[in-house]
């Protein structure tokens, strides 16, 4: 009874995924290039829309030598492949929801429970997990829909029919090990299970050949243009939406006025829908651009030290924090960040690259900051400290870090263990 009541409350609190809201979400996650192409197509197809010439110089995509339009985006490719599975309506909707939660690298950026919530609980977590395993993980490029790098590798191994059973078994043993960076320990475990040195080397070669960002082969074919541009002056930061090259659309008010006079005499639902579609596009594009700018402004306000040539000063920042600041759901933030770029003093960067997760649950600290902290402790030590002692020292400062975490980032920093220092 309690579980059912809790779920009903969550359903009541969640936003109903209406067709209009679904369209807005789809628009929100388009890249700048994709959005411009969509607007151009809408202007051609909808007589009630006009392209008001932008005062700034426009970008002529026809000037570029490489073929952009003939290439499918990752999302388009995945959706197209669903036709081969002969899915029923329910399976198709779940698949589309999952694909909309996959970023340009091929990673599933939404948690299963978030996808359930986005669907307004029309689909269960069990259904979503089964769809992910049996449909999405079978799509190309192999590895898409992964939730971590181990799963990314496993998907590619499972889909490769040319890998022997012996190698599959060995790779599974390697992937099940919690410390993939400790090869000597893994090798010892492998030999204990009856495998040879050659078996181990062969399995490692297969793992190394796996693509940890399988989706980028599709996304690289697109022309990348920044939505936002940073201006830094006197220790203050300003984030502007780049108007250059972006179509300025408006309603053809004269045509709408003339048509409405005709519609008083004879109603035409198709024409009315075209007018409503035109109004929706204007409103939604404006909202999309404002939201992208608002997210960019907040991110950059948190990372101003990073842009002032201090990469170690990049602050931890999560989708949830941004969502709380601008008043949207964290899943909406992940869609906003998808395929969005920002023009910075350090060059054009993916907006989401400025989000750094904390490696501690009790105190904000990025991986880079932790590595520097470990380095400072090691350089000041009179007697070599074990990873456990370093963890205890940092936990006294409130970081709440496990020995395994210290070991992981010590190795990433190329610092030998206490035995060899």
Q: Each residue of 341-378: pLDDT tens digit?
A: 999 887 888 888 788 776 776 777 777 778 888 999 99
| Number of domains present in the structure of the chain | 3
Where residue 331 falls among pLDDT bands split at 50, 70, 90?
Answer: confident
Share above pLDDT 90 across residues of the chain, in percent, rounded to a whole number:
31
Q: Indicate if 399 and 283 belong to the same structural domain.
A: no
Q: Looking at the domain assignment, is residue 36 inside a domain?
A: yes
Q: Indicate if 320 and 226 belong to the same structural domain.
A: yes
Q: Indicate if 337 and 292 belong to the same structural domain.
A: yes
At 8 the pLDDT is: 42
Q: Of 340, 244, 294, whose CA–CA distance to 27 is shortest?
A: 340
Q: Indicate if 323 and 227 belong to the same structural domain.
A: yes
Q: Looking at the domain assignment, is residue 380 inside a domain?
A: yes
Q: Indicate if 202 and 287 belong to the same structural domain.
A: no
* pLDDT over threshold 70, residue 19: no
For strands 341-344 and 347-350, give the pairing: antiparallel
Domain CATH number, residue 373: 1.10.10.60
Range of the domain at 59: 11-69+222-357
Q: Looking at the domain assignment, is residue 117 inside a domain?
A: no
More confident residue, 420 or 41: 41
- Average pLDDT of the chain is 82
151: exposed, middle or buried (Cβ count in 10 Å: 0-12, 13-18, 19+): middle
Whole-number Å distance between alpha carbons of 156 and 126: 23
Q: Looking at the domain assignment, is residue 94 inside a domain?
A: no
Q: Looking at the domain assignment, is residue 175 inside a domain?
A: yes
Q: Indicate if 205 and 292 belong to the same structural domain.
A: no
Q: Indicate if 170 and 50 belong to the same structural domain.
A: no
* CB under 8 A, 24+ apart: contacts of 151-154: 152/106, 152/107, 152/210, 152/211, 152/212, 152/214, 153/207, 153/210, 153/212
Q: Looking at the domain assignment, is residue 104 inside a domain?
A: no
Q: Indicate if 252 and 313 belong to the same structural domain.
A: yes
Query: pLDDT (tens digit, 9 = 90+) per residue, 97-145?
Result: 999 889 878 899 888 988 888 888 889 999 999 999 999 999 999 999 9
Q: Looking at the domain assignment, is residue 75 inside a domain?
A: no
* pLDDT over threshold 60, residue 65: no
Query: Which of 311, 330, 357 marks a domain boundary?
Result: 357
Q: Indicate if 179 and 246 belong to the same structural domain.
A: no
Alpha-carbon 18 to chain mean position: 23
* pLDDT over threshold 60, residue 59: no
* pLDDT over threshold 60, residue 69: no
* pLDDT over threshold 90, residue 73: no
More confident residue, 410 or 176: 410
At 312 the pLDDT is: 53
At 56 the pLDDT is: 43
Query: Which of 187, 213, 239 marks a domain boundary?
Result: 213
Q: Indicate if 347 and 391 belong to the same structural domain.
A: no
Query: Which of 333, 357, 381 marks a domain boundary?
Result: 357
CB neighbour list of residue 330: distance below 8 Å, 6 or more residues apart: 114, 318, 319, 320, 322, 323
More confident residue, 419 or 378: 378
Q: Indicate if 278 and 166 belong to the same structural domain.
A: no
Q: Looking at the domain assignment, is residue 76 inside a domain?
A: no
Q: Indicate if 268 and 372 belong to the same structural domain.
A: no
């Amino acid at each position: 009874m309690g579980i059912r009541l809790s779920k009903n409350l969550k359903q009541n609190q969640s936003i109903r995924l209406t067709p209009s809201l679904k369209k807005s979400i789809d628009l929100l996650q388009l890249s700048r290039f994709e959005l411009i192409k969509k607007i151009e197509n809408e202007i051609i197809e909808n007589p009630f829309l006009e392209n008001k010439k932008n005062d700034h110089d426009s970008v002529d995509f026809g000037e570029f030598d490489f073929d952009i339009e003939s290439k499918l985006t990752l999302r388009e490719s995945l959706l197209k492949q669903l036709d081969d599975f002969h899915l029923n309506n329910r399976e198709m909707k779940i698949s589309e929801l999952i694909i909309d939660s996959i970023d340009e690298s091929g990673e599933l950026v939404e948690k299963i429970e978030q996808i359930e919530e986005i669907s307004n609980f029309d689909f269960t977590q069990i259904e979503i997990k089964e769809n992910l395993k049996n449909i999405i993980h079978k799509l190309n490029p192999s590895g898409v829909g992964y939730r971590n790098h181990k799963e990314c590798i496993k998907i590619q191994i499972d889909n490769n029919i040319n890998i022997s059973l012996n190698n599959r078994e060995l790779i599974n043993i390697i992937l099940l090990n919690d410390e993939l960076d400790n090869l000597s320990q893994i090798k010892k475990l492998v030999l204990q299970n009856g495998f040879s040195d050659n078996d181990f080397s062969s399995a490692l070669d297969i793992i190394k050949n796996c693509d940890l960002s399988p989706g980028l082969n599709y996304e690289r074919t697109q022309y990348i243009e920044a939505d936002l541009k940073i201006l830094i002056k006197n220790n203050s930061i300003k984030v502007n939406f780049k108007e250059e090259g972006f179509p300025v659309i408006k309603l053809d008010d004269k045509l709408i006025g003339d048509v409405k006079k005709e519609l008083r005499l004879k109603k035409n639902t198709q024409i009315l829908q075209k007018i409503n579609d035109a109004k929706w596009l204007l409103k939604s594009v404006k909202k999309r651009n404002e939201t992208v700018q608002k997210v960019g402004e907040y991110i950059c306000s948190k990372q101003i030290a990073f842009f002032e040539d201090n990469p170690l000063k990049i602050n931890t920042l999560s989708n949830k924090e941004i969502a709380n600041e601008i008043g949207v759901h964290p899943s909406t933030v992940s869609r906003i960040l998808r395929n969005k770029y920002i023009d910075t003093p350090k060059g054009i960067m993916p907006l989401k690259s400025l989000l750094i997760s904390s490696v501690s649950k009790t105190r904000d600290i990025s991986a880079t900051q932790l590595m520097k902290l470990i380095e400072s402790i090691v350089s000041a030590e009179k007697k070599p400290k074990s990873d456990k002692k370093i963890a205890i020292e940092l936990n006294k400062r409130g970081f709440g870090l496990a020995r395994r975490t210290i070991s992981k980032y010590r190795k990433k920093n190329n610092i030998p263990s206490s035995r060899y220092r």
